[in-house]
Structure 1
Amino acid sequence: MPSHSFNISLASPTFVLLLVEAGRDITAMFIIHDFDAIMEGILISLASTFLISIDTLRLIETPPSAFLGCVIATVASVVLVLNLRQRSDEQREVSLSTRRLVVAVATFLVALIYVCAVLFHDTVPPLPISLPYWTEVFKPHSSTPSCTRKALPLSTLSQSEGNYTHFSNVLLIVFFSHPRYNDNLDFHREVYSAYFPNIVYIGPASREDKGFAHSYDVLVDSFQSDEDLSDPSFYKMSGRMAHHMLHTALQEYDCYDGYLWAPFDTLLNVPRLQQFNQNLFWYHSPWGRPVPNPALGDFGPEPTLNKGRHAPPALISPDTSVILTETWRGWGPDWWLGDPHVGVSVCMEAFLRVPSEMRTRLAALTEGKTRLIGGSADTLYIPGRHRRVFMEVLALFLETNCFLEIATPTTVHLVVPTGEPIQYVDHWWIYQPPFNATFVRQKWAEGFEVDTFHTFHWGDRGEDGIWTGDHHHVADVRHLLKESADRQGIEFPA
C-alpha cells in the first residue's frame, strides 16, 4: 500500500489549532466534572459574546444597540455563573484543586490568544461595508498598513512645508474639465503641494504640449468630455460627466484615509480644512453640521445649520414624480434639475437601482419624500472607509447621463450612514469678480467664512483676449492662508 506522509510543522497554524481544539475539549470536561453541563453552556455563551463584540467592532456596520446587547449578555452570564458556582459549592461542597484550575485557565488563555491572533491577522478580509463613524475612536488614525499605495506621478510629489502633516494620508484629487493646464497646474501645485503631499491631477488629455517630461503629469480620463454649446436646448458642458474622473481616481488610488475632490480653480482655505474631521464626509449639505470657527466666535458646534451665517447649501429637488422637463426653460433661466438630457428624469433611472435601504435613509432627511440633491461639486471630501460603497453607488449614476452636480451630491447623501453627520463646508460659487483672494477677504469683512470657493483665477485675459497666468496669485494665496490661520488661532507654516 502506498504510504502517506503528513508534513505538519509544529509551528503551523494547523498544529496549533489541533492543540487548541484538544484544550477546549479538556477544559469542557473539567467544567462538567466539577460543575455541570449548564455551567459549560453559559461559559461558551460568554466567550462567544466576547468574540462577537470584538469582531463587530472591527468588521460590521451596526448600531450601538448591538453592543448594548453584548454587554447585557455578558453581565447576565457572569451573574449566572457566580450564582451557579455558589449553589454548587453549598450543595456539593466540592473544592477545586489548584492544579485543575491552573490547567483550565492556561488552556483558556491559549485558545483566546490564538483566536484573537487569527481574528486580527492581516489576511482576514474586511467586509465590503463601512464602519459607523463612532467606531473610529477604536482605530488609529492612519492608513491601513497592509495596503500598498500606487505611486503618484513623480512631478506631483513635494516636501510638506514646515513638517506640516495634517493631510499626509489624504489624496487631493484636482480635476480639469478642459485641458487648460499651463500655469494653472503649475501655480496650483506650487501652493498646495506644501500642505498636500499626495496630489493627483486628472483631466481629459495629457500635458503633451509641455513636452515629454510633463506628459505624465495628468491622469487622463476623457469620458464624455466633448463640449458643444451651440444648441441652447442641449448645453453640453465638457465637465458634465466629471464624476467619472472622480470614480477613476478613487479606483486607481486606494489606501488613503480620505479623498478631497476639487477642481484646479477652487481656492482651498487650508487652515480651515485642517479642522475638519477626516473620518466624515465634507459637503455643503442642507443637513450639514458646521465646524466650529473661532474667528466668528464659535467654539462649539452649532446645534443646527444657521443659513444666515453660512454660504448657501445645496438644493433639494422638487417632487421627482412631477415631469420637470415640461416647464424647464433651459440652462440659465433654470438649473439642471429639469434638463431632459442630464436632469432628474435621467438621474432617476440610476436612483431607482440604488439599494432600498439607502434610498430610505435619504428619504428620512426629506420628510419621507423621494428627492435628489443638487449643487456644486467643487468641494467634496470622502472618507477612505466609505470609498468602496461610494464608488459603487456613483457607478450607477455613471451608467446614465446624470449631471455631475446631481449625481455626486445625491450619492453622498445615499451613502452616509444613518446618524453620521456631514460636516458643512462654507463653499461659495461665484460668477462675478473678484476671482481671487480678495473675495475671501471681502467675505471675512462681511462676517462670513470661506472654506472654499469657485471660481478662482490663477491669471487673467489681457487686452488681446489671451489668458496669461499671474504668479502674483501664488504669493497672495500663501499670504491669505497665513491670515486665515491667524484668524483661527492655530499654528501654520508661513
Structure 2
Amino acid sequence: MFRVAFLGTGSHGFGSHADPIALALSCLSEAGRDIFALYAIYCFLNEPGVFIGCFLTLTAAGIYVSSIRQTTEEDVESECVTRVGKLHRWPALKLIQKIKPRYPVVFVFAAVLVGYMLFVSFTMIHENEWTTHTPEPQWGFTSELESKPGDCHRRPLLFHSHRKTLENYDRFNNILLIVFFSHARYGANLDYHREVYSDYFPNIFYIGPASREDSGFDHSYDVFVDSYHSDEDLTDPSYYKMAGRMAHHMLYTALQEQDCYDGYLWVPFDTLLNIPRLEKFDREFFWYHSPWGLPVFNPAQDNNLSLGLHAPPVNVSPDPSINLTETWRGWGSDWCDPHVGVGVCMEAFWKVPVHLRERLAAFTNGETRLIGGSADTMYIPGRHRRIFMEVLSLFLETTCFLEIAVPTTLHLVAPRHEPILFVDHWWIYQPPFNASFVRQKWEEGYEVDTFHTFHWGERDGDNVWRANYENVVDIRRLLRESAERQQVVFPVR
C-alpha cells in the first residue's frame, strides 16, 4: 500500500531538496484515501464500526483536502522559484514562506488516521476472540424480552370466545381467562360458566383432558385437549393417581398456545369469580394468596391489615435440607406422596438457577423452601409469561404435584421489587357450594375474591348430578351486590 503511495508522489514535483517531512506527510495523505476505502468497508459492517467509520471518513476527508492544498501550494512554489528566483530572490523567499504548507495540521490528521488504522486492524485480528467472550443472556431473565403488543399476533380463539361483552365492558379485553377441567365433565358446567363470564371476558380458553362430545359436532372444538397425565386410578393405595395432579401442564400449554395478552387468569371451571373485586387488581403484577401478598384496597372493609380479615394464605415448607418425605406431614398425604410429593418436587427445585432460588429465599429469610397450596386462582402478567413457563417446565419434567409446582414457580419468578397482590381465595369442602358462601363471609367481615369449590348443579335423590340454572341467576345477583359494596358501576345482564 505504501509502495503505491510513494510511486504516486512523483507527480507532485518534489525535487532532490524536498523536505523529508513534507514527503512523508504527502505519502500518508495519498495513502489515506486507499486506507479509508479498505477499512471503512469493514467498519460499517459491524455496529461499533459505524461510529469509527464516521470518524475515519472525516479524517480521510481532512487529509485529502490538505493533500490537494499542499499539492497546489507546491506547484505555486515551484513556479515562483523558476520565474522570480534569479531577479527577486528575497521577495520570492517571503512569498514561499507565506504559502508554505502547514505541516502541524496535516500531521494531526495523519496521526489520527494512523491511530484508527491500528485500532481497526486490532479489531479485525481479535474479532473472533471478542465474539467468543461476549456474555450470553442469563437464563431466567427473559421477562422483558416479550413481544411488544404492536409486533405480536394472537392465535385465533374458538368461535365461542368472541362474544361481545355487556355494554362494551372492556376491563379484561386484553386478558385471557384460562379455564381448566381436570375431568371431561363439560355439559352444563361449561355452558353455564361461559354464559356468566363471557359477559366480562371476551377471551376465554377452555382446556381439558378430552374432546367435548355431549353437545355434538358443533361443540366438539369447544375445549382444547391436553391429556398429559390426566388418567385417574384410585384403586391402588400405594400409588394414588388423582386426575388433575398434573393440570399445570394445561397451564403451560395455554401459555404456549396463546401469546400476546397483557395477562393470564388461571382458574378451574368450578371457581367463582367476584368480578367487581377483580377489577381493582393491578394487571401489571402477579395475583395469588401468597403469605407475602399485598392486599388490594376494599371500600367495604376498614383495610386494617392487623385485623387479619383475609382468606388463609398458602403454606411454606420447612427447610428442604431435611428429609421431607419421612419427617414432615404438614401438607397432608398428597404433598408427601413419594410419586408426586415434595421428594419429587425437590428434584426439579435444585435444577432451578441459583439466582431464581435466591428470589424465593428473599421471602423466607435466606432459606429456599417450597410453597404449597391451592392453585385455583392465579394471575400471570403477560410480561412474565416466558420466564414463568421456563421455570414451570422444570417441574413438569417430574411428576411434581400441581399445588406445589405452580405456587413455588410464582415465588421463584416474582421480581423482588414488585408486589404480589393478595387474592382473598377460599378453598372449601363443606356446603354451601354456591353464592351463599360469599354472603356468609361478608356477614363475618371477610371478603371473597374467588372461591373453590363452586357447584353449577347438585346430585338429586337418585344420586344423579343435575345442573341448576338458578346458580347462573344467583351469581348475577351476587355480582350486582358486590358492585354496590365496591362502589363501582357494573353492568349485569
Give the TM-score normalised by structure 1.
0.71
CA–CA separation in structure 1 for the residues paired with 2:240 and 2:307:
31
Does 2:405 align with 1:407? yes
Distance between the aligned counterparts of 2:141 and 2:58, measured in 1? Answer: 36
Deviation at 1:342, TM superposition (A): 1.0
1:144 paired residue number: 149
Provide the secondary structure at the position in 1 that maps to 2:228.
coil
Partner of 2:450: 452
- 2:260 paired residue among 247, 255, 259: 255
Kindly indicate whether the alpha-carbon contact (under 8 Å) linking 1:167 and 1:196 is maintained by their aligned counterparts in 2. Answer: yes
Q: Deviations over 1:429-454 (max 9, x none)?
A: 00000000000000001000000000
Residue 27 of structure 1, CA deviation = 10
For 2:235 and 2:203, locate their aligned partners in 1 and report how far apart those are by CA, in whole Å: 39
Partner of 2:232: 227
Q: Which residues of structure 2 form unaligned runs of 5+? A: 1-43, 63-136
1:168 aligns to what?
173
**Deviation at 1:128?**
6.3
Deviations 1:135-175 (A, max 9, x none): xxxx9xx9701111001011232111111101000000000
Confirm or deny: 8 A CA contact 1:171 1:259 kept in the other structure.
Answer: yes
Amino acid at match of 1:441: R
Matches within 5 A, 1:22-41: 24-25=54-55
Shift in Å, 1:482 = 1.2
Moved over 4 A (4+): 20-24, 26-29
* 2:442 counterpart letter in structure 1: W
Q: Distance in 1 between the 2:488 and 2:57 partners?
A: 58
Match for residue 129 of structure 1?
A: 142
CA distance in 2, matches of 1:376, 1:471: 27
Structure 1: how far apart are the matches of 2:309 and 2:428? 17
Matched-pair contact (CA < 8 Å) for 1:156–1:217: no
Match in the other structure for 1:356:
354
What secondary structure is seen at the aligned counterpart in 2 of 1:262? strand
Look up the equivalent residue of 1:291 and give its one-letter code: V
Query: What do residues 283-324 of structure 1 show as CA deviations (whole Å, max 9, x unaligned)?
Result: 0001000001011133xxx7xx64721000000012212222
Residues 466, 130 of structure 1: CA spacing in aligned structure 2 closer, same or farther, 3 A cutoff?
same
* Cα distance in 1 for residues equivalent to 2:229 and 2:307: 36
Give 1:28 shift: 7.3
Q: What residue identity is the alignment partner of 2:194?
A: R
Q: Provide the C-alpha distance between the structure 2 equivalents of 1:23 and 1:223, rounded to a whole number of angstroms.
A: 56
Q: Which amino acid aligns with 1:296?
A: Q
Secondary structure at 1:480 match in 2: helix
Q: CA deviation at 1:236?
A: 1.4
Give the aligned partner of residue 388 of structure 2: 390
What is the aligned counterpart of 1:378 among 376, 379, 390? 376
Kindly indicate whether residue 208 of structure 2 is the aligned counterpart of residue 195 of structure 1: no
The Cα offsets for residues 40-85 of structure 1, whole Å up to 9 and x where unpaired, read as: xxxxxxxxxxxxxxxxxxxxxxxxxxxxxxxxxxxxxxxxxxxxxx
| Amino acid in structure 2 at the alignment position of 1:482 | R
Structure 1 residue aligned with 2:473: 475
- Residue in structure 2 matched with residue 244 of structure 1 by the alignment: 249
- Hey, what does 2:211 align to over in structure 1? 206
- Equivalent-residue separation in structure 1 for 2:300 and 2:244 (angstroms): 35
Q: Measure, in 1, the Cα distance between the counterparts of 2:387 and 2:367.
A: 23
Query: Which residue of structure 2 aligns with residue 436 of structure 1?
Result: 434
Q: Is the 8 A contact 1:227 1:237 kept in 2?
A: yes
Amino acid across the alignment from 1:315: N
Q: Structure 2 matches for 1:87-166, cutoff 5 A?
A: 129-131=142-144, 144-166=149-171
Alpha-carbon separation, structure 2, partners of 1:183 and 1:398: 31
Letter in 2 for 1:438: S
2:321 corresponding residue in structure 1 = 321
- Contact (CA 8 Å) 1:347, 1:400: kept in 2 or not? yes
Letter in structure 2 aligned against 1:310: H
Q: Could you list the per-position Cα deviations for residues 98-129 of structure 1 after superposition, in whole angstroms to 9, with x for gaps in the alignment?
A: xxxxxxxxxxxxxxxxxxxxxxxxxxx9x962
Overall identity of the aligned pairs, in %: 65
CA contact (8 A) 1:149 1:254 kept: yes
Q: Quote the residue 1:47 is aligned against.
A: none
RMSD: 2.9
The one-letter amino acid paired with 1:263 is P
SS in 2 for 1:271: helix
Measured against aligned partners, the alpha-carbon deviations of 1:213-247 in whole angstroms (never above 9, x if no partner) come to 00000000000001112233432110000000000
Change (3 A) 1:365 1:28: farther
Q: 1:328 to 1:231 in 2, by over 3 A?
A: farther
Cross-structure match for 1:63: none
Determine helix, strand or coil for the equivalent of 2:489: coil
SS where residue 460 of structure 1 aligns?
strand
Against the structure 1 CA distance between its residues 306 and 219, is the aligned structure 2 distance closer, same or farther, given a 3 Å change threshold? Answer: farther
- 1 CA distance for matches of 2:467 and 2:352? 44
- 1:272 lines up with 2:277 in the alignment: yes
Looking at structure 1, the residues matched to 448 and 362 of structure 2 have their Cα atoms a distance apart, in angstroms, of 30
Q: Residues 27 and 267 (structure 1 numbering): CA distance in 2 closer, same or farther, change over 3 Å?
A: farther
| Inter-partner Cα distance in structure 1 for 2:397 and 2:258 | 22
Give 3-state SS (helix, strand or coil) of 1:261's partner.
strand
CA–CA distance in 1 between the matches of 2:144 and 2:260?
A: 16
Counterpart-to-counterpart distance in 2, 1:223 and 1:400: 12
Instruction: Report the Cα offset of residue 21 of structure 1.
Output: 6.4
**Structure 1 residues not aligned, in runs of 5+:** 1-13, 33-124, 133-138
- 1:427 partnered with 2:425: yes
- Find the counterpart in structure 1 of residue 96 from structure 2: none
